[in-house]
Amino acid sequence: MAEKFDVIVVGAGPSGNSAAYTLAKAGLSVLQIERGESPGSKNVQGAILYSDALERMIPDFRDDAPLERHIIEQRMWVLDDESYIGSHYRSDAFNKEPYNRYTMIRSQFDKWFSERVKAAGALVICETTVSHLLLDGERVIGVMTDRQGGEIYADAVILADGVNSLLAKKAGFHPELQPKDVALAVKEIHFMPQELIEQRFNVKGTEGVVIEMVGKITKGMMGTGFLYTNSESVTIGVGCMLSDFKKQGTTPYALLEEMKAHPAIKPLIQGGEMKEYTAHLIPEGGYNAMPPIYGEGWMIVGDAGMFVNAVHREGSNLAMTTGMHAAETLIELKNEGKAFSAANLKRYQAKLDESFVMKDMKKYKNMPDVFHSNPQFFNDYPEMLSNAARTMLTVDGVDKKSKEREIRGTFRRRRSLFGLLGDTFKLWRAFE
């Protein structure tokens, strides 16, 4: 006799865990299926945890969640081959509890989250892959797993199966992912003594620093680099659009190797012992590339639905929020005695439209296109900025006015006045 649940959640990342947790807490019967050996074993993220989304579900998460450092300083670096120019924002306001942002290690964090999901009453089954959705006409009525006797039924299925979302693709809910809509990111974790991190980044206790990087480290490809401080390690990584990697013929690990050798970055990771290397796709196609996110008896949450704000490097918070809203939709419908039909599940879309999730997705909807067609943002500008700074800061008997003229001249030569104005306009439109 096949099992039947109110809801099956496929995947145990932040979106799936949020959905399963919220559903189980409300008393629905929930089965969560994860293909990894344990929740988190296949999940990869930078990783920054933005407290807000999690706090809305689990207000006391700080008591026992495995968090690394709370962020008190954010650096934005624009790099050329030998320099960086950038801004640092550090504030003691970030030292006031409750902290707003943390670095975390996802394999540990996801395990913790999953324990909370189980404690809330959901049944979690790992090492089991959902091979396809069971359909009755258009309606999703359950899932088929790769195990003998694998059919399991449910009134609704939440697809939290990550960036590739093979299940939704197989069911025909969306077409194959396009290389221009996904970034490929690689990262390494370098372990070093806590004192060394404190000295190097000028922090104490659980304070931490994040560095976001753009510029020539991505060789003109659309992408960014990052460096995060954990308790006893430093995470360093870089990600670029898959289509750009393809076009350039560059491999991600080679890019990371070069980035690690950059004179501004090398000293920060020196002496560390590399213990982990991971790679992952990030859905960065933005609003215009989003698949439909609900239908007859199904909803898509998290990466599977392209819920990533690439400009602000946010993803897990969108994942958690979509997971929570998907769950809340089902809870409401169940309480009202309504079916999980597409017409009723539209409420999920409405909830997201009202939240920051869709507002942000829409705000930056043109960003991917702007950056795709204007590689100068990742190549020329970093170099021009760096040259300008060097010109101004080099004391060599030339008066400042002449230096300014020279800088303006370089900018115009490299991009032309029209190009500069055009770029400004494009960026303004995209950010508007």
Partner 1 sequence: MHIVVCIKQVPDSAQIRVHPVTNTIMRQGVPAIVNPYDLYALEEALRLKDQYGGRVTVLTMGPPMAEAALRKAISYGADDAVLVTDRVFAGSDTLATSYALASAISQISKDMPVDLVFTGKQTIDGDTAQVGPGVAKRLDMQLLTYVSKVRSLDTENDEIVVERRSEGGVQVLKTSTPCLITVLEGNNEMRFATMANMFRASRYPVKIWNKDEAGIEDVTKTGLKGSPTVVSKVFAPTPRAVKAEIIQCESNEPGDLSVTLLAKMFNKHPKLEKEIAKRAV
Applying CB under 8 A, does 231 fall inside the site for partner 1?
no
At 330, the amino acid letter reads L
Single residue of 147, 170, 204, 408 touching partner 1 by CB under 8 A = 147
Applying CB under 8 A, does 312 fall inside the site for partner 1?
no
Taking the C-alpha atoms of residue 274 and residue 101, their distance in angstroms, rounded to an integer, is 25
Find the shortest distance in angstroms from Cβ 172 to partner 1: 25
Residue number with CB closer to partner 1 (123 or 339): 123
Query: What is the SS3 assignment for 358?
Result: helix
Q: Do 10 and 157 meet the contact criterion of CB atoms below 8 Å apart? A: yes
Applying CB under 8 A, does 128 fall inside the site for partner 1?
yes
Taking the C-alpha atoms of residue 6 and residue 23, their distance in angstroms, rounded to an integer, is 9
Pick the closest to residue 106 from 53, 160, 68 (CA basis).
68
Pick the closest to residue 6 from 23, 25, 22 (CA basis).
23
Give the binding-site size for partner 1 (rule: CB under 8 A).
13
Taking the C-alpha atoms of residue 192 and residue 186, their distance in angstroms, rounded to an integer, is 20
Binding mask 76-115 for partner 1 (x = CB under 8 A): ----------------------------------------
The burial of 83, by beta-carbon neighbours within 10 Å (0-12 exposed, 13-18 middle, 19 or more buried), is given as buried
Find the shortest distance in angstroms from Cβ 233 to partner 1: 11
Residue number with CB closer to partner 1 (143 or 361): 143
Taking the C-alpha atoms of residue 412 and residue 127, their distance in angstroms, rounded to an integer, is 58
Residue number with CB closer to partner 1 (196 or 420): 196
Residue number with CB closer to partner 1 (87 or 148): 148
Q: Do 130 and 123 meet the contact criterion of CB atoms below 8 Å apart? A: no
Binding mask 2-31 for partner 1 (x = CB under 8 A): -x----------------------------
Q: What is the CA radius of gyration of the chain?
A: 23
Applying CB under 8 A, does 278 fall inside the site for partner 1?
no
Find the shortest distance in angstroms from Cβ 130 to partner 1: 11
Single residue of 55, 66, 74, 123 touching partner 1 by CB under 8 A = 123
Find the shortest distance in angstroms from Cβ 276 to partner 1: 10
Single residue of 150, 292, 295, 419 touching partner 1 by CB under 8 A = 150
Applying CB under 8 A, does 277 fall inside the site for partner 1?
no
Find the shortest distance in angstroms from Cβ 139 to partner 1: 22
Find the shortest distance in angstroms from Cβ 108 to partner 1: 9
Find the shortest distance in angstroms from Cβ 145 to partner 1: 6
Find the shortest distance in angstroms from Cβ 119 to partner 1: 14
Find the shortest distance in angstroms from Cβ 425 to partner 1: 50
Applying CB under 8 A, does 152 fall inside the site for partner 1?
yes
Residue number with CB closer to partner 1 (53 or 234): 234
Applying CB under 8 A, does 148 fall inside the site for partner 1?
yes
Residue number with CB closer to partner 1 (37 or 138): 37
Find the shortest distance in angstroms from Cβ 280 to partner 1: 20
Taking the C-alpha atoms of residue 16 and residue 33, their distance in angstroms, rounded to an integer, is 9
Q: Do 319 and 336 meet the contact criterion of CB atoms below 8 Å apart? A: no
Applying CB under 8 A, does 125 fall inside the site for partner 1?
yes
Pick the closest to residue 371 from 323, 322, 426, 306 (CA basis).
426
Q: What are phi and psi of 330, to 5 degrees?
A: -65, -40
Beta-sheet strands, E only, within 231-335: 233-241, 273-283, 294-295, 298-300
Per-residue exposure over 345-378, b if at least 16 CB sit within 10 Å of its own CB, e if not? bebbbebbeebbbbebbebbbbbbebbeebbbbb
Q: Count CB atoms within 10 A of the CB of residue 146.
A: 12
Q: Which residues contact partner 1 by CB under 8 A?
A: 3, 37, 123-125, 128, 145, 147-152
